[in-house]
Amino acid sequence: MNRIANSTHRRELSRSGAGRLGLAGVVCVLMASMLLFTASVRAQFGELVAFESPGDTTYYLDAETGDDENPGTRPSRAWKTLSQVNSTRFAAGDRLLIKAGTSYQGRLWPKGSGRPGVPIVIDKYGEGARPAIHAGGETSEALLLENTQGWHISNLELTNTGEKPEAFRFGLSITVEDMGSAGDFKLSNLYVHDVNGTTEPGLGEGAGIIWRSRGARVPTRFEGMLIENCTISDCGRNGILSLNDFADRTRWLANVGVVIRENDITSTQGDGIRLTGCVNAMVEYNRVSKAGGKEDGETGGAGGAGGIVLIGCDNSLVQYNEVWETAGAKNAALLCDTNSRDNTFQFNYTHDNAGPMAAVRSAAPNEKPGQPATDAGNVGTAVRYNISQNDGGALRLDGPTAGVRFHNNTIYTGADRETSAVVILNKPTPPTTPGFPGTPDSPNSPTGTILVNNLFYTLGSCTLDLSLVPDTQLHHNAYFGQHTRPEAEDGSITADPQLADPGQAQTLLDRLDGLDGYQTLPFSPLRSAGVRLKNHGNHDLWGNDVPKGHTVDIGAYQSFQGSSDKGGQPAQPAQEP
């Protein structure tokens, strides 16, 4: 029974006159009224569906002139409240259009699922600002999707500010449980802000947008999640957060088809973007600023943070992002956290971060003896062709990372960064189980690290200390300025690298605007002075080819022009790994 039928039923009961029905009639009327009241309350909180859409229908919502007694299928006959929407089960091909400039208090919790190629769409209609949904801290989220799929949501404003921060408070939340798989989610051009969730990690930390796969009976994952062109600010600990209960390697089921693209995220007290339990994810062209900071002016966030973070991810790509002003020396602009394999961070521009441009962390092999490893450690992370300007370091390795490849990056620090270490390699992770004493030759030390073809351009002073990680290949790097580093290094260069105009790039208005100052001039000693590695990459930040069969340039810029089978200097053999 839909809400129009409910209203008609109530009017008919009123006209019938309870006094003419006798005691039995009065009882019936009271029971019917109670049932209708219960149905209304349930519909308001999303527990009962009162109307089933046939699909392929457009519905309109207008808080100013709408009426829930209307069918909702024309702008002049629009619905009025979120309650009406929440009591409707939508179907494939439906569209819910919300009038521009209108505002709603409460939570939007629509039901139903689209099907492949035929999603359910939520968007605005008319000219003006995005329609706004303000949860006011009364519910955990301003927009909730639960055990559903096939939703494309665009052009909404979402807030959720309570009297004080609380756990599990979000702007938009998508949860799938015991479904097996759920796909075709697209979130675009959303403005999510002022969500005061808690900031402590693992304790119901808040987020602007959160999506989570879970299940006690059926392993479940996302198969298609696109988040693009969204603006997220002041949202508790995280901007965009994914959680996956199946990131544990003993029951691994990774999300697929994940793309996080061209979002603006600022002022999070923890991570700007964090992906958990994904494979072949793409994180590109995002702008993340002021992650890891606290409202009271303290730095470092709660429990460590990063601008863009991968944890429990494989074969994922983080590229063409800008990350700046991440607070706290322990926090990194780009963080590849533990339980991750073969991820690549390339073509990014990081600047003015308190901590390093990149950090790679591994918690393994600290597993309990005799039990299967739940954590794959951190293997094969590549950090290449990035530009770092005035960050608090270049690279930090935490724990027993394996096979980190840090090559062809340009690291610039100005004269005001006298105490900055260009490359920070931390002490081994303290032992948590017997047998891992944390000495340089213990399983807690990084192994197989490569630092090759990087340019460290320093107007202040910096330190390169590899004493705690002897298993490191260090060669063919360029150093300009004051450096404390190992004396012996094959192929190193200390001459002026002759960059066009380094240190002048600011916050970018375009993808490459302002970075041309890091290109080398024609007679730069960096040209053709590097060594080619296996899996070296095909091109640089500017799209210039990395020559095949020839030597490469040192630094992020590759000057090679033309086809990759001619020109350049004779190649050295590709080096491992």
Q: Is the dihedral of CA 53, 58, 61, 66 positive or negative?
A: negative
The token duo for 401 is 């990372």
Q: Which of 5-14, 138-147, 457-466 has the lowest mean pLDDT?
A: 5-14
Q: Structure pTM?
A: 0.87
Inform me whether the pLDDT recorded for 267 exceeds 90.
yes
Inform me whether the pLDDT recorded for 401 exceeds 70.
yes
**Average pLDDT of 295-319?**
75
Confidence of residue 67 (pLDDT cuts 50, 70, 90): very high
Confidence of residue 371 (pLDDT cuts 50, 70, 90): low
Inform me whether the pLDDT recorded for 34 exceeds 50.
no
The number of helices, as runs of H, and strands, as runs of E, in the chain is 3, 42
pLDDT for 200:
79
**Average pLDDT of 110-118?**
96
**In sequence order, which residues have a C-beta less than 8 Å from that of residue 135 and are 6 or more positions away?**
105, 106, 107, 141, 142, 158, 159, 160
**In sequence order, which residues have a C-beta less than 8 Å from that of residue 467 and are 6 or more positions away?**
440
DSSP, collapsed to helix, strand or coil, labels residue 3 as helix
User: What's phi and psi for 497, nearest 5 deg?
Assistant: -70, -10
pLDDT tens, position by position, 190-249: 999 999 998 877 778 899 999 999 999 999 999 999 999 999 999 989 999 999 999 989
DSSP 247: -
Q: How many residues does the chain have?
A: 577
pLDDT tens, position by position, 74-106: 999 999 999 999 999 999 999 999 999 999 999
**Average pLDDT of 473-486?**
85
User: Cα 37 from chain centroid?
Assistant: 42
Q: 158 forms bridges with which residues in the sheet?
A: 133, 192
Inform me whether the pLDDT recorded for 28 exceeds 50.
no
pLDDT, mean over the chain: 83
Q: 101 forms bridges with which residues in the sheet?
A: none
pLDDT for 133:
98
Confidence of residue 386 (pLDDT cuts 50, 70, 90): very high
pLDDT for 18:
36
pLDDT for 118:
98
User: At 103, which helix (H) or strand (E)?
Assistant: strand 103-105
More confident site: 507 or 102: 102
Residue from 498, 532, 530 nearest 517 by CA: 498
More confident site: 518 or 421: 518
Helix 22-44 / helix 3-16 crossing angle, nearest 10 deg: 160
Inform me whether the pLDDT recorded for 351 exceeds 50.
yes
Task: Give all strands (DSSP E) within 262-324, no chain letters.
Answer: 264-266, 273-276, 282-284, 287-289, 306-311, 317-319, 322-324
**Average pLDDT of 435-452?**
64
pLDDT for 368:
54
Inform me whether the pLDDT recorded for 273 exceeds 90.
yes
More confident site: 420 or 232: 232
pLDDT for 236:
82
Q: Which of 39-43, 147-151, 303-307 has the lowest mean pLDDT?
A: 39-43
**Average pLDDT of 427-440?**
41
Identify the burial level of 91 via C-beta atoms within 10 angstroms of its C-beta, where 0-12 means exposed, 13-18 middle and 19 or more buried. Answer: buried
Give the C-alpha separation, 82 to 102, whole Å. 12
pLDDT for 293:
75
pLDDT for 329:
86
**Average pLDDT of 405-413?**
95
Inform me whether the pLDDT recorded for 294 exceeds 60.
no
